[in-house]
Structure 1
Amino acid sequence: MSRRRHLRPAAVASAAAVVLALGLTGTAHAAAPATTPGSAARADDPDQPENPLYDAPEGFRVDSGREAVALSWSTLSAATAYEVHRAEAEGTGPDEVGPFELLATVPTGSYADDSADPDVAYAYKVRALDGAGHVSPYTESLRGTRDTVAPFAPRDLTRARQDERGVTLTWRTGDSDSVKYMLYRAESPSAPRVKVGSTTSLTFRDTKGEPGLTYSYEVRGVDAVGNESEASNSVTGTRTVTAATAPKAPSVGSARLVGKRLTLSWSQSPYVPVSSYTVYRSKTSPVDTSDPANRLATTAGKEYTATVGEDGRDYSYAVVATSQHSVRSPASASVRPTYTEPRPPGATYVHDVAPGAGSVRLGWSAVPYGSDESRVTGYRVYRSTSPHLTKENTQFTEVTSGTEYVDRGLTGGTKYYYAVAALNEDGLESALSPEVSATPTS
């Protein structure tokens, strides 16, 4: 900032008197300054030598915006505040503006005019103030608008190419003031649109779409202040599946450990055919699926169950899909199963008792088990010749995997009492079924 000082006429006269005195006598004598009407310093006159604000703020900038017009400038060391003045711009010329009015007084080098009427052009200028009431000259006036008008929608969106590398789209500007374009896609014409990228050109290649999935695309223009246009026409495009295409990573939806029983299930995108899934596990997460030592099993389905050891709760698991052309997918997210203490199975009830010659045939209902319960593996039949049978006073037991049992070698005419309990793979046993009785014949 240059420090200009303007000499007043009285000061010029004083200097001339000094020169004249030197020329005549060789000794300088200061002559009394001449006084003229209005020669006293005025605090609001930036040309006064005692005014420290002799320059306007530099770097004045006006940026149009959607919510406000943003003003900024460089601060002056002598200034304590700044006046922002605004006028309606009546034409395109620098002087075609209405009368300026004080809009705000602020302490810093910026101001956001959010009171501007939408889509009306304004002219702005700023000057500095100090604590003594001095003012600087005004900055030059600059124009700005709170722009809320969206650009016209792009036209003629076209799918130019689709191959294994992606889908290439082109379009026309629509004669708008767009400075960039936003690309959107959806998995069907009625599905929600997702923003996939932006560009300042009239072409875009979507390389991130899932191979084999047909997307619906549209493009919208965005102007310099962020207003976004309506959508263009929509087109569809599909990234091509080839023999080299990798499947999408499986998504593990359930990982449970009930006692020692592990159950994993996952979903898989259908667009790249999968021939098998490999389950990996390790005691560190994420699971390193490149290490053969972490490989647990391979299955054709989307579920894996197994009985694991006592340390089963210490492992994390991940799944990798392999395509029909032996191309591996990325690994799924590594998951640690939710552990549940094993519970005894539910009780059954005997619905069929048929005595025979030296025998009794029993039939009972199978016990169901949920996804968070251990699998029922069999049933134990209890027998006694006394009523009120318990597991402790029983005289005979037999384990079977089915829901029917024939008790042979019995004494005819003797009444026998029976109850049945279910067994699960954790070795736990249910309560006894209600007691039944039968008397075989001789």
Structure 2
Amino acid sequence: MTPPSRVRLRSVAALSVAATSCTLLSAIGATPAAAATVVCKTNYFTRTYYANTTFAGTPKKTDCDNAMDQNWGSNAPISGLPKDNFAVRYSVTRDFGGGGPFTLAASARDGVRVYLDGVRKIDIWKNGSATVSKSVNLTIPSGKHTLRVDYVNWTGAANVKFGYAPRTSKTYDKVKPRTPTGVKAVHDTASGKVKMTYPASVEMDLAGYRIYRRLAGTTTYTQVAAGGATSYTGLNPEPGKTYYYEVRAVDKAGNVSTGSADVPVVSPLMTTPTGLAATGTDAGITVTWKPVAGATHYALIRTGNNTTVTKSVTGTSFTDTAVTRSTVWQYRVAAVDGAGRTSAYTAANNPPAAAYRLVAAPHEVTARPAITSVTLTWIKESADGSVYDYHVYRSKSLPLDATAELARCTTTSKLLADGRRQYTCTDSFPAAGTTYHYAVKAFDSKSKESVASPTVTTTTLTADTTPPAPVTDLAAEATDYGVELRWHVGSEPDIKRQRVLIGELVTDEEEGTSVCYAVSSEYVGPTVTSYRDVRLPDGEERCYFVDVEDQSNNHSMVDPEINPVVTVTERDLTPTVATPEGSPVTVTGTPVLTGGVLLDWQSAGDATGYTVERWNPVTGAYEAIPDAPSPYGATSVTDRTAVAGTTHFYRVTALYADGTASVPGTAYVVLAPAA
């Protein structure tokens, strides 16, 4: 071989002068860059291309191929190679597992040589005009070995093919697969099962795996699974006992490896939970117990009131809100694993896990102070039927539980629109100007008290003579159903109630002044700011004012000069068609809760029927209602078409057999809109 020429490099400065000769300098003096290292996937061939037939010098290219089966024809395999006189080298190092009989097969045009660990096994090495093939049977030892295939094309068409495969016939293959390693087995709490995993075998003739199990202390194995998967999931036959698992590999010739190292697995025995306790609360009954190893959930049985209910609980506590109050309920619990295996239940007695659910505690408690009294209110839900009565506790200091005394008051109640009941109790014995803390407890027929309501704190008032501020922005609006009043009330904390006064204006003609004389009144709450006076809209003039009263019985209307009065002229919806007097028919109209107006009247002598009409202000006439009665003596009818928010006028006329009719009787009904 001719030694490479050497060129002594000059200084960097000198080289910069010869910039225009860069290509030449590179060609004669620069060392070619080393080809990047190619790392191929496991069991892939590393393939290198040479522009000569002696595999000399730096390869033109290195890449990877998972199989050798190329036919380049008369072309060059890659750019940079000649179409004749080139070489390609393939090499792979792989683990052959337990080894055994293999067949190596090669074909090529022109030359091909196959080496196993550097020893030539196939030799076809001549320039020919046709493809030549050759195979060889041999035994490859266990472990890692290197196959190398050299291919050369001198002239003409180029192709090469090579393969290697185990001989799987029982006649030839007597070699056991390699023993599996890396076997892992654990008890999976979530499923309660054994989960095994193991790496895939490198055996080329692998048929699958067999899973075996034996009970600790025995030597007898039982096959529990077979197949090609590299994992297994199954149940231990008995929880609480240790079982050993191993894996054996099987090849296509039926040879079975020795068993892997045994891996022990124990499925925990579901033991009965301990520490079961039940506590009655306002929310329900809270049941607790200690955890059991391996349990994924628990089965909780509740008995009582002639019922039995089983619930699945994931934690170690459960608040049973479905039980009725004032009743003793018993509980038992068992542990359950992920496979559904259940322990024994806790004993029904010794001791029993039982609790008494208390009656519901009052809520929405308020306290309204006066000078020498405090009025408390609270709410009872409609479903809390087990409450017998209430105790009201008060104290001048906190905590209330340690210093409370039973307040002397009698409870009253009223049903609210939503079905709940509001209770009121007035403590009439506190001192004026004193701070008190209150709490309310319900109790049932067995005198068992609920937990206390939230504590409310209030300070009784001191006597005063200052009247509360009068209402402001008092306004009245005439409607088709009467008059709507609205106002603003002051923010004094001691307002007890308000009184709406409805009056008529009386005018002093000499002085030219008018005074509102109240003819009726109605009390409303301390924070109410509206009132609906439902009355016949017949064009009358009305006046209104509101008196505010505080806890010291002072009234805002003590000074009429500053107490506002509002006047309003009602709308006049009276029919413009007059009705004569002297009707034998007396009509009564009543609003119907579900909507409409019920009209009824007494029979008018020998009348054979009746007509019922309603005033239509649009047409200015009385018109028959859609649900008019038959002419054969009916004395009532419900007008379902009567809308709310206005006043309806009716007249009923008696009909006689001779074809005559009576003077109609009249009635009106005011239908206010929903509140």
Give your verdict on TM over 0.5: no
TM-score by length of 2: 0.29
Structure in which a larger fraction of residues adopt strand: 2
Structure of higher RCO (CA pairs closer than 8 Å, 6+ residues apart) = 1
